[in-house]
Amino acid sequence: MPVKFSIQRLSTYYGSVQALRSLSMDVAPNRILGIIGPAGSGKTSFLRTLNRLNDLLPDFRAEGRVLLDGVDINGPDTDPVLLRRRVGMVFAMPVPLPMSIYENLVYGPKLTGIRDYQRLGEIVEKSLRAAFLWDEVKDRLNLPALRLSGGQQQRLCLARTLALSPEVILLDEPSSGLDPISTARIEEALAELKSAYTIILVTNNTKQASRVADETAFFLMGELIEIGPTEKIFTAPKDRRTEDYVTGRFG
Amino acid sequence: MRLPPRLTQAFVVSLLGLATAATLVILVFVIVFILRKGLPAIDSEFLFTKPQDMGRAGGILPTLVASVILPLIAVAIAAPLGISTAVYLTEYTRESRVTRMIRFGADCLAGIPSILFGLFGFIFFVTILRMGWSLLSGGLTLALMILPTIIRTTEEAIRAVPNAYREVSTSLGATRFRTTAKVVLPNALPGIVTGIMLGVGRSIGETAAVIFTAGSSLRMPASIFDSSRTMSVHFYILAREGLSSEMAYGTAAVLILSVLAVNLVAYGLMNRFIRRRS
Amino acid sequence: MIRIGEKTVRRLLMAAAFSAIGGLLLIALFIFKEGLSFFIETGFRRFLFSDVWDPQSGRFGIFPMLVASLWVTLGAMTLGAPLGVSVAIFLVEFVPRSVMRVVKPTIELLAGIPSVVYGFIGVMVLAPFIRSSFGGPGLSLLAASFILGVMILPTIISISVDAITAVPASYREGSFALGATRWQTVRMVVLKAARSGIIASVILGMGRAVGETMAVIMVAGNAVKIPHSPLDSVRTLTANIALEMGYATGRHREALFATGIVLFVVIMILNTAAGVMVRKRVSGKRG
C-alpha cells in the first residue's frame, strides 16, 4: 500500500501538557481518513502537527517523526511555508479573511507568485466548482466573504484550500457549526475530491466518519486506540473502548 | 453617629455627581470661553495672510503652515518606527526581558515632560547635529515625543486582530511577513490611524518642545531647514508679551479647533474599530 | 525568493523596536552630559539647597524652584486627585454605561487642549479672580495649582475608569448578595480591587503636573523666592528652564541642564512607581 504520511512515535507537548502520546500510523493517498474521538483526545493537535501550524505557538514541542512522501517535515530540508502549500487546512469554524470572495481565493495562489489574471480566474472557478459553491457566488465574487452564510463560508474555506492545489487536505471538524444541508454539501464535495487528494478529516460526529471515511482512526486521551477500514471500526472494532465510543456509550 | 446606608449612599452619590458636573463645566468652559472670544477674529484674512507688526495685526498664515508641516514630519518619522516596534513586539517575538525593556522604555518616554524634549532637541538636533532652529529639528523632537503613543495604540490594535486570521493565512502558505502585511496590519489600520492622529494632535498643541527646536521665526518657511513659528508658539508669544489679545484669542480658537478636529477623527475611528470588533 | 526577506525583516523590526528606548537613553545621555559636570562641581547640596539664583553673579541655587514645584504639584494633586477619582467612580458605578461612553471620550478629548490654552485661561480668568477675591498678584502658586489640577484630570479620570471597569462583576455581585448598598460595595470592594490602578493614575497625573511648563509659566508669576502663602508668585523647575534657556550661555546654561537632570530623575522615579503599580494590577487580576 502506498503511503502519503507516515507518522512514527509522535508525541506533542504544549508547555508541560502532553497532547499526543507516541502515536504511529500511516496515511494512504487518495482516500479519506476519518479521525474520531472525544473532545481533548488530541485530534486537532495531530492535524496541526501535520502542517506545522503548531509552530505558531511559542511553547509547543514535538517528538518523533512525521514523514511526507518519505521526507521528515520537521527536518532541515523542509520549509514550513512550502509544506503548508502542500498540506492545506480547513478549520473548525469558517474563517473567511475580511476581504472579498475573490481575494480570499487568490490569497494562496498569489503567495506562490501567480500574478496572471486569467490564470487566477481559472483557479478561482475550478476551486469554487470543486467545493460546490460556484453557482451560488459566481456573479458576486467581489462581495465581502463575511456576507456569505455559514455553510457558504465553510465551502469557501474549502475552495480556498483547494486553490493552493495541495496534495493533502486537513479538515478540522469542518461541519461542527453547520446545518445538515451544508454538511451534506461538504461531504459530497469531499467524496468527489478524494480521487485527487489525500484527505484527513477530524470529526466529533461519528456518523459523519461512517458516511465519508474510507478508513477511520479512534483517538482517546492522546493515544491512537485503533485504526482500520471504516466499516470494521464501526461494526467489529477490536478494542472495547472503540466499541463504547462508536455505539455512543460515552464521548 | 452612623447614618443609615441608604442615606449615606444618596449623600455620596450627590457629591460624586457634583464633582463630575464641576469637571465637565470647567472643561467645557475652557473651550467655550476661547471660541466665543476667538471665533469673531477668524476670517479669511486672518487665516490666509502674513502677520504684521510682530503679530499685532494681519493673519497667521506662516504659523498655520508650520503647524501643518511640523506634525507631518513628526509622523513621517514616528509612524514607521512605532508601527515596526509594535509589529516586532506582537508578531515577531515572545514576551521576554527584551520586550519588557522595550515597553518600559516606551512608557518612560511617554512620561518625559515636554520641556526635557525641548532641552534634548536643542542640544542634540539644533546644536550638535547642526540642524539649527528648523522645522526638521522640531519634527524630529516631536517624533520622539509621539512615538510611545503610536507604539501603544498600534500594539493594542494588532492584538485585537483575531488569531484565526493569522492561522488561516499561515495555513495558506504565507510567511510571517506576508501575514503581517496582508492580514494583520490592514485589520489593525483604524487603531493605528487613531494613534497617529493622537500624535498629530499632540504635535499641533505642543509648545515647550517646539519653541527651543523649531524656533520662533515669523517668516514663511521655505524649506524644512528653516526656523518657523507654530500656531501654539505664536499664541504663547502673543499672550505672554501682551501683543494683541484679539489676535491671541483668534489664534487660540484656530488651535483648539484643529486639535479637537484631529482628536475627534481619532476617537471616531477608534469607536468604529471597537464596534466592528464586538 | 519569498523566504529571503524573513530574517532581514525580523532584524529591521528589532532595530526599530529599540528606537523608543534608544530615544530615552539619548535624552538622558545628553541632558546629563550637559549638566552633570556643573552639578558635581557646584556640589549636590549647594545646587539643591541654596536659595540664591543669580546667574549674573554666577550663583545657582534651585531651592526656591524645588519648593515651588513641590507646592504647586501638591496643590494640583489636592484638587485633581480627589476630583478625578470621584468622577471616575461616578462614571463607572453610578451612571448608565451609555452615558459613560459619551462622557469619558469627551473628557479624554479635552486632554488634547494645548497647555498654553490652559495657561491663557489662567491669565485671563483665574488670576484676576484670585487678585480681586483674595489679594496678592493673582499670578500665583494658587493659580498654578488650580490650572494644573484641572489639566491632569483627564489623565487621572481615564486611567482610573479603566482600573475600576476592570474589577470583575462577580466581586460586586458577591457584595450585593450580602445586602450592601452600591456605595458600600464601591467603598469596600471595588476601590480595594482597583486600588493600584487608581494609585497609578494619580502618580502619572503627578508626573504631568511636575513636568508641565508653559501653562505654569503663564500663571505662576515666576518670582524666584520661597513662597510663604498660596497667593505668592512662584517659579517652578520647568519654568526656570524654559524662561532662561532662550538666552543662557556657559555656566548658566549648564545650570539649566542640571535643573533638567533633577527633573528627569524625579520623573523617572514617578514613572517607575506608576509602572510597578500597573504591573501589580495586572498580576493581581490574573491571580
The predicted complex's ipTM stands at 0.91
Phi, psi dihedrals of residue B57, rounded to the nearest 5°: -140, 180
Buried b (16+ CB within 10 A) or exposed e, B181-190: ebbbbebbeb
Chain B residues in contact with C124 (beta carbon < 8 A): 33
Cell (9 digits) for B100: 519588557
DSSP bridge partners of A87: A168
Neighbours of A208 (CB within 10 A): 21
Q: Nearest CB to C213: which of B22, B114, B259?
A: B114
Q: Residue A20, SS3?
A: strand
Contact C126, C59 (CB under 8 A): no
Contact C267 B17 (CB under 8 A): no
Q: How far apart are the first and last CA of chain A?
A: 32
Taking CA–CA distances from C3, the nearest residue in chain A reads: A81
What is the C-alpha to C-alpha distance for residues A38 and A206, in angstroms, rounded to an integer? 10
At residue A205, the pLDDT reads: 86
Q: Say whether pTM exceeds 0.95.
A: no
What is the C-alpha to C-alpha distance for residues C81 and A75, in angstroms, rounded to an integer? 60
Domains of chain C: 46-283 (1.10.3720.10)
Q: How far apart are the first and last CA of chain C?
A: 47
What is the C-alpha to C-alpha distance for residues A12 and A21, in angstroms, rounded to an integer? 7
What is the C-alpha to C-alpha distance for residues B51 and A89, in angstroms, rounded to an integer? 66
Average pLDDT over residues B258-266: 90
**Is the CB of A84 inside 8 Å of chain B's CB atoms?**
yes
Cell (9 digits) for B5: 446606608
Per-residue pLDDT 10s for chain A (251 aa) are 789 999 999 999 999 999 999 999 999 999 999 999 998 899 999 999 999 999 888 889 999 999 999 999 998 888 999 999 999 999 988 999 999 999 999 999 999 889 999 999 999 999 999 999 999 999 999 999 999 998 899 999 999 999 999 999 999 998 887 888 889 988 999 999 999 999 999 998 889 999 999 999 999 999 999 999 999 999 999 999 999 998 887 65
Task: Please state whether beta strands B57-58 and A215-220 pair in parallel, antiparallel, or not at all (unpaired).
Answer: unpaired
The label of the residue with cell 443609615 reads B4
Contact C63, C226 (CB under 8 A): yes
Average pLDDT over residues B47-71: 90
Taking CA–CA distances from A48, the nearest residue in chain B reads: B171
Of A179, B116, B236, which Cα lies nearest the Cα of C114? B236
Name the average pLDDT for chain C.
90
Of C217, C174, C171, C177, which Cα lies nearest the Cα of C194? C171
At residue C1, the pLDDT reads: 41
Instruction: Average the pLDDT over each of A188-202, B219-233, B263-277, C6-20 and give the range with the smallest value.
Output: B263-277
DSSP A57: S
Predicted confidence band at C284 (pLDDT cuts at 50, 70, 90)? very low
**Is the CB of C275 inside 8 Å of chain B's CB atoms?**
yes
What is the C-alpha to C-alpha distance for residues B149 and B192, in angstroms, rounded to an integer? 10
Contact B105 C21 (CB under 8 A): yes
CA dihedral A84, A88, A89, A90 (to 10 degrees): 150
At residue B257, the pLDDT reads: 94
Q: Residue B228, SS3?
A: coil
Task: Judge whether residue C281 has pLDDT over 70.
Answer: no
What is the C-alpha to C-alpha distance for residues A28 and C22, in angstroms, rounded to an integer? 56
Q: Nearest CB to B119: which of C2, C31, C114?
A: C31
Of A170, A65, C263, C200, which Cα lies nearest the Cα of B172? A170
Residues 154-183 of B with CB under 8 A from C: 175-178
Phi, psi dihedrals of residue A64, rounded to the nearest 5°: 90, -175
Q: Residue B89, SS3?
A: helix
Instruction: Provide the angle, in degrees to the nearest 10, between the axes of the packed helices C195-211 and C153-165.
Output: 170
At residue C186, the pLDDT reads: 92
At residue B1, the pLDDT reads: 56
What is the C-alpha to C-alpha distance for residues C181 and B21, in angstroms, rounded to an integer? 23
Chains touching C by CB (3 or more pairs below 8 Å): A, B
CA dist list (Å): A62 to A7, A20, B69: 12, 9, 54
Mutation target vs C (from B108, B182, B202; most C CBs, 10 A cutoff):
B108
Which is it for the CA torsion B41, B47, B53, B55, positive or negative? positive
Q: Nearest CB to C20: which of B23, B106, B252?
A: B106
What is the C-alpha to C-alpha distance for residues B207 and B141, in angstroms, rounded to an integer? 12
How many angstroms separate the CA of residue A113 from the nearest CA in chain C?
Answer: 9
What is the C-alpha to C-alpha distance for residues B237 and B240, in angstroms, rounded to an integer? 5
Of A44, A13, A51, A49, which Cα lies nearest the Cα of B169? A51
How many angstroms separate the CA of residue B182 from the nearest CA in chain A?
Answer: 9
Buried b (16+ CB within 10 A) or exposed e, A102-116: bbbbbbbbbbeeeee
Contact C2 A111 (CB under 8 A): yes
Chain B residues in contact with C270 (beta carbon < 8 A): 111
Q: Nearest CB to B174: which of A98, A111, A160?
A: A111
Contact B85 C245 (CB under 8 A): no
How many angstroms separate the CA of residue B272 from the nearest CA in chain C?
Answer: 13
Task: Judge whether residue B266 has pLDDT over 90.
Answer: no
Phi, psi dihedrals of residue B192, rounded to the nearest 5°: -65, -45
Q: Residue A21, SS3?
A: strand
Residues 40-79 of B with CB under 8 A from A: none
Chain A residues in contact with B177 (beta carbon < 8 A): none
**Domains of chain B, residue spans:** 5-41, 44-277
Contact A98 B164 (CB under 8 A): no
What is the C-alpha to C-alpha distance for residues C46 and C91, in angstroms, rounded to an integer? 48
CA dihedral A182, A187, A193, A198 (to 10 degrees): 120
Calculate what percentage of chain B has a pLDDT beyond 90. 73
Instruction: Give me the total of CB pairs closer than 8 Å, taking one residue from chain A and one from chain B.
Output: 55
At residue B267, the pLDDT reads: 82
At residue C287, the pLDDT reads: 31
Residues 101-120 of A with CB under 8 A from B: 107-108, 111-112
Predicted confidence band at B277 (pLDDT cuts at 50, 70, 90)? low
Contact C114 B256 (CB under 8 A): yes
CA dist list (Å): C21 to A219, B71, B148, C221: 50, 21, 10, 36
Q: Residue A201, SS3?
A: strand
Residue A184 region by backbone torsions, left for phi larger than 0, else alpha for psi between -120 and 50, else beta: alpha
Residues 86-125 of B with CB under 8 A from A: 94
DSSP A100: B
Task: Judge whether residue C283 has pLDDT over 70.
Answer: no
DSSP chain C: -TTHHHHHHHHHHHHHHTHHHHHHHHHHHHHHHHHHHHHHHH-HHHHHH---EEGGGTEE--HHHHHHHHHHHHHHHHHHHHHHHHHHHHHHHSS-HHHHHHHHHHHHHHTTS-HHHHHHHIIIIIHHHHHHHH-S-SSSHHHHHHHHHHHTHHHHHHHHHHHHHTS-HHHHHHHHHTT--HHHHIIIIIHHHTHHHHHHHHHHHHHHHHH--HHHHHHHB---S--SSTTS-B--HHHHHHHHHTT--HHHHHHHHHHHHHHHHHHHHHHHHHHHHHHHHHHHHH-
Chains touching A by CB (3 or more pairs below 8 Å): B, C
CA dist list (Å): C162 to A105, A199, B194, C194, C201: 41, 49, 19, 9, 10
Residue B162 region by backbone torsions, left for phi larger than 0, else alpha for psi between -120 and 50, else beta: beta
What is the C-alpha to C-alpha distance for residues A216 and A32, in angstroms, rounded to an integer? 8
What is the C-alpha to C-alpha distance for residues A17 and B147, in angstroms, rounded to an integer? 40
What is the C-alpha to C-alpha distance for residues A231 and C174, in angstroms, rounded to an integer? 55
What is the C-alpha to C-alpha distance for residues A42 and C72, in angstroms, rounded to an integer? 63
Predicted confidence band at B278 (pLDDT cuts at 50, 70, 90)? very low
Chain B residues in contact with A82 (beta carbon < 8 A): 173
Task: Please state whether beta strands A168-172 and A17-27 pair in parallel, antiparallel, or not at all (unpaired).
Answer: unpaired
What is the C-alpha to C-alpha distance for residues A169 and A197, in angstroms, rounded to an integer? 7
Average pLDDT over residues C18-30: 95
Chain A residues in contact with C3 (beta carbon < 8 A): 79, 81
Predicted confidence band at C213 (pLDDT cuts at 50, 70, 90)? very high
Does the B44-277 domain belong in CATH 1.10.3720.10? yes
Q: What is the 3-state secondary structure (H, E, C) of A121-187?
A: HHHHHHHHHHCCCHHHHCCCCCCEHHHCCHHHHHHHHHHHHHCCCCCEEEEECCCCCCCHHHHHHHH
What is the C-alpha to C-alpha distance for residues A186 and A176, in angstroms, rounded to an integer? 12
What is the C-alpha to C-alpha distance for residues C205 and C183, in angstroms, rounded to an integer? 25
Chain C residues in contact with B140 (beta carbon < 8 A): none
